[in-house]
Amino acid sequence: MSLLWLATNAGISHWEHLIHYVLPSAIFNTLILLVGVAILVISIGAGCAWLVTAFDFPGKRLVSWALLLPLAMPTYIVAFAWLDLLHPIGPIQEAIRSILGYDSPRQFRLPDLRSMSGATILLGLVLYPYVYLTMRAMFISQPAHLLEAARTLGLSATGTFFRVALPMARPALVVGTSLALLETLNDIGASEFLGVNTLTVTIYTAWVTRSDLPAAAQIACTMLTIVILLLTLEYYGRKNQRYSSNKQMRGIQATRLTGIKAWAVACLTGLPILLGFVAPVLFLGWESSKRLGESMKLSSNLMHSLQNSLLLAVGVTAVVTLVSLIIAWYARHSAISNRSPERRRIVLRIASLGYAVPGTVLAIGLLTPGMAIDNFLAGLANVQELPLLSSGILLVICCAMRFMAIGIGSLDAGLTRIPPVMEQTSRLLGENEFMTFLRVHLPLLRPALVTSALLVFADAMKELPTTLLLRPINFETLATTLYAEAARGTYEEGAIAALMIVMVGTLPVVLLARSQLKTSGKQ
């Protein structure tokens, strides 16, 4: 409502300027980027998911979980790393010129990474795990007899994939691709570093650079239209996800590959890991070691950024965990009491909508009501500072709304594994609802709580768009510090901040990969 109020009260002149000079190129760039990323994440994610499910090859066990590692790499960090790696005087082009016998970048240089194609490739290399996760789970659960029947009728392995396995997994493909595209819409750092003027970058430029909040709100409304289209696509994809779950049905049996085919598949599935995780991490480690080798200590600015990042992440994690616990428990209790599973799904989807809204749009929408409350509180306390904005509370609230879906999803999954008979037994033994929650639900939810907290903590540590727009004055996190260092071209200091973010983000991804490996091992 706040966003619509800002947009509609800005005046016709704003809309005319945006329609003629700003929106056409921004919308075109955004749509081209979304289409390109969709093609790439589908190709990499679905292809790798099928290869590690249907075939047995050297290193398969390692590759099957390592394909999730790019989830730990924020898009802006991958762009930051590859911009330096592929710089005309960077290590890769220097090595190529040395092999070819050239001395100068004027004699040989690769195409500039700062382009639409560069942004599409880098975003695809980071976001394909969303498709890989959903498709891998779907391929594992597909009945083997359908695929065997296709082969018996004369289809090749490739034909079986495209005509049988892929169509059956289409709902999972739509869901995973929609998640990847929502993350693409939320991206600001990578797009700006790579010179692609998307709607998100335009919103940031209008608000921060030109101090034109009404124009930013109008662009954000345009962006919401694309978000609604993606959510509709995701809803219908999830709605049609109805398959038999007969546990006695035999799953796909992996075909053992030998010789050159086996090593070709191993290299093919390992390439996204190398480009999307290993190479950037090695670069960040090398640059960080050079910086630490010079001074042997972290700068005070970097230490303050680390402290602020930890403070923000802890605050967001605490809020998300508490609110998610209440919502997930209420949804379960309401569904059991009213015998209405549909009511539970509605409650959970409404509470999780914040994740679908890009951080820039969410920040603009919260700013007006937040400022109104801030002015009221400042008047009561008779102070000049705005308490919510200056203390970072508004930033914590915005991040918590954005990541609430992670907490709710993890805790709801944990609650569904607790049979209703356990709480019914507790009530029969004289415990009230609150004590049943404390003594039955909470202990059994401990693994889900830990997983949820780790995922939210990692996402809050690397959040950039919301932090850029709502952070208090002189409040820098590791993400904003990296953004500033990249803008100045000082890669060594930025590499340390980036490496810290990746180290924090890797732990929950490894835990997620471990759970996926256990699940696939049971099939």
Q: Is residue 253 part of a domain?
A: no
Q: Is the pLDDT of residue 367 over 70?
A: yes
What DSSP string describes 373-384? HHHHHHHHHT-S
Q: Is residue 206 part of a domain?
A: yes
* Euclidean distance between CA atoms 288 and 494, whole angstroms: 9
Per-residue pLDDT band for 245 (boundaries 50, 70, 90) equals very low
Dihedrals phi, psi of 56, to nearest 5 degrees: -115, 125
Dihedrals phi, psi of 328, to nearest 5 degrees: -65, -40
Domain that holds residue 477: 297-522
pLDDT for the residue 219: 81
| Total tally of structural domains belonging to the chain | 2
pLDDT for the residue 121: 95
Of 295, 315, 339, which one is at a domain's C-terminal end?
A: 295
The mean-pLDDT minimum among 32-46, 197-211, 230-244, 296-310 falls in 230-244
| Beta strands per DSSP E along 362-509 | none
Instruction: Say yes or no: 288 and 340 in one domain.
Output: no
The one-letter amino acid code at 324 reads: S
Per-residue pLDDT band for 1 (boundaries 50, 70, 90) equals low
Reported as a single tens digit per residue, the pLDDT across 269-323 is 999 999 999 999 998 888 888 877 766 677 788 889 999 999 999 999 999 999 9
Instruction: Say yes or no: 215 and 344 in one domain.
Output: no
Instruction: Say yes or no: 221 and 310 in one domain.
Output: no
CATH number of the domain residue 22 falls in: 1.10.3720.10
Instruction: Say yes or no: 186 and 126 in one domain.
Output: yes
Instruction: Say yes or no: 388 and 289 in one domain.
Output: no
Q: Is residue 193 part of a domain?
A: yes
Mean pLDDT of 255-265: 90
Q: What is the mean pLDDT of the chain?
A: 82
Of 274, 295, 316, which one is at a domain's C-terminal end?
A: 295
Q: Is residue 250 part of a domain?
A: no
pLDDT for the residue 240: 52
Reported as a single tens digit per residue, the pLDDT across 40-90 is 999 999 999 999 988 899 998 889 889 989 988 889 899 988 988 888 888
Instruction: Say yes or no: 303 and 336 in one domain.
Output: yes
Instruction: Say yes or no: 203 and 290 in one domain.
Output: yes
Instruction: Say yes or no: 303 and 268 in one domain.
Output: no
Instruction: Say yes or no: 359 and 454 in one domain.
Output: yes
Instruction: Say yes or no: 35 and 181 in one domain.
Output: yes
Instruction: Say yes or no: 331 and 464 in one domain.
Output: yes
pLDDT for the residue 269: 94
Q: Is residue 389 part of a domain?
A: yes
Instruction: Say yes or no: 201 and 343 in one domain.
Output: no
Kindly state the DSSP code that residue 74 receives in the 8-state scheme: -
Contact call for residues 317 and 460 (beta carbons, < 8 A)? yes
Compare 140 and 36 and report the one with higher pLDDT: 36
Q: Is the pLDDT of residue 381 over 60?
A: yes
